[in-house]
Chains A and B, each alone.
Chain A
Amino acid sequence: MSTFTPDAVRELGGGWSEFRLAALDRFAAAPLPTPDEEIWRYSRIDQLELDRFVPATCTTTIDAPDGLVVDAEPELFPDETPDVFAELNRAFMSPVVIAVPAGRTVADPIVVTHTIAGSGTAVFPRLVIDAGEDSDVSVIERFVAADGADDDTALVVPVLQVHAAQAARVKYLAVNEVGERTWQIGNQQAVGERDSTTLLATVTLGGDYVRARTEARLSGQGGTTKQVALYFAGGTQMHDFRTIQDHDAPHTSSDLLFKGAVQDHAASVYTGLIKIRKHANGTTAFQTNRNLTLSEGAWAESVPNLDIETNDVKCSHASTVGPIDEEQRFYLESRGVRPEVAERLVVLGFFEEVIAQLPAGEIADDLRFRVSNKLDLTGARKELAGTPS
């Protein structure tokens, strides 16, 4: 018996029951995906037992200047959904809508924090960032475990929608620090109009299985997107990313830098697609994915793809999977740095390229600290628990 029923939709409240029930119908009519589908290849989606979770309202706090958080209306949510989980989100979503008026520059980052309660709940946060013409805004969306819920099971199915109007500048950062028994299956979709600039950044440290499909489409000429991510999986965690850079207008540029590390028996997947449509001449697109495998039993997969329909493009991709560079380690050790400290410095240095690009100056130190703490260095963990230098 499914827990994702029309009654459950009605019980949650949240309004627009017709809209939600229609989405639930579409969800129920479609099969759950399997790893046989290319977009779910390598994933753990076949291990998901959806009916073990009970839908709940997401507990969310928002730190934003007055007037920017507006009421949600069904019209804000596009009919097209990238997969069944985004559809399920439509049925059960807890929406937050940030609308930045044209010309407005929001000085400080807006912080949206979802506290995941665990206890087998499923939550469906949806964040909409609607940036008006020539506006400027940064938003940090945090997913954290509730106190004491670290070891609880939970399912988080977030959806992000970013719309950058002409010449708007949007910076977005998702920070995932959910508990180690939490599953997260998310979708991020950004659309950039003419001359807009969008940054989609993700930091994933938590979760059991965490998947993010992140799609940046450039619909107007002169638009720019950048996608960056830092992910670090340990234990038996799996971090799974599918990225799309979609050039749907001429003279657009996109850049992507995803850097990950895996240790213990953890796994990670990166699959990226650069799609350059026929009319997107004069486009530049770059895609870089680098992975460190820190333990013998850890596993990382990197699959870059190109789909280019025009000749007038400048496009490249690079991908690497491998252990810490032996030469770098020896160089530091030859100065008298202990091996475990050398490893910590090299791993932090590896991630620094991403951290430097995050729209979150004040949380950068905290992130370095968390990465440093997560490193499973034999016998060194306690010793290194202090503030990183």
Chain B
Amino acid sequence: MFESLDDPIDVLTVFVDGAMRPLRFRWQGRVVPVRQVTGQWNRRDGQSVYRHFAVQGPRDDSYELCYDTRSACWRLNRAWTLPGGTP
């Protein structure tokens, strides 16, 4: 099931043709490679703009990452955990 989180994470990011793309992130001491970015959307609150990414990990695990363009910080918003354990 999806787990709602708000965990700070470190993300290795690449910028290509003016677009940013997360490549891998560190969460709970593990490094999760991003196999595929399946979608993205933006959210604004006041003057802050948040860039959201839906991504897939190596084992069909699924995450939603959020980049705060103002503070240049990443957070993990949601993770889909495989039955019986962590993703």
Determine if chain A interacts with chain B: no
